[in-house]
Amino acid sequence: MKLSKYFLVLLVFAACNTPHAVYDYDQQIDFQQYSNYALFPDFRSGLSQLDENRLLNSLETAMQQKGFIKSEEPGIYINVYTEEFQQDNRSRVGVGLGGGGGNVGVGGSVGIPLGQMNTYLKLTFDFIDVKNDNLVWQAVVESPFNYDASPEKRQAQFDKIVAKALEGYPPKK
């Protein structure tokens, strides 16, 4: 029984640390037609140069695993842009005070936040049909991100983010 309690706590902790993705796509498109890709000509992710290189390494590896070839004459352009936001970590300590006398009681409490806000990255992956200049597929991934992490951990986080984004490609109709 003790083991199951620890497993449940570990599961909850792991679930809070994984990327979350939402997908959208053009239902009229046959995604089998795309086998070559290139980065969008005006690619600017909004990340630092080192983090952008990590993202691009992850993206290139994942696209190769999906069977895509990086090409000078692509079928789709890939654009990725990021947005950073802070979210409350929801850890609190409650402090209460109360008293009473006779038939009257009074009490009050306050929650004191622990730690600091958590940093999240929201990455939007756009696949754009080169011929028609139309957005055909999109993934939006939100993930916790630690700017103080080592380069290896940051690369691993980008690997997870890209894997989660491409999990929904090609879309299942």
pLDDT given at position 11? 39
Q: How many residues does the chain have?
A: 173
Q: How far apart are CA 96 and CA 107, in angstroms?
A: 7
Q: Find tokens 């991100």 and name the residue.
A: 145
36 pairs with which residues across the strands? 69
Residue 115 has pLDDT above 60, yes or no: no
Give per-residue pLDDT as tens, 43-92: 999 999 999 999 999 999 999 999 999 999 999 999 999 999 887 655 55
Q: What is the pTM of this model?
A: 0.75
pLDDT given at position 83? 94
Q: How far apart are CA 121 and CA 21, in angstroms?
A: 12
pLDDT band at 12 (very low <50, low <70, confident <90, very high): very low
Q: How far apart are CA 138 and CA 16, in angstroms?
A: 23
Residue 113 has pLDDT above 90, yes or no: no
pLDDT given at position 101? 72
Q: How far apart are CA 68 and CA 111, in angstroms?
A: 51
pLDDT given at position 116? 64
Residue 15 has pLDDT above 50, yes or no: no
Give per-residue pLDDT as tens, 117-138: 688 999 999 999 999 999 999 9
Sketch out the chain's domains with CATH numbers.
35-88+117-168 (3.40.50.10610)
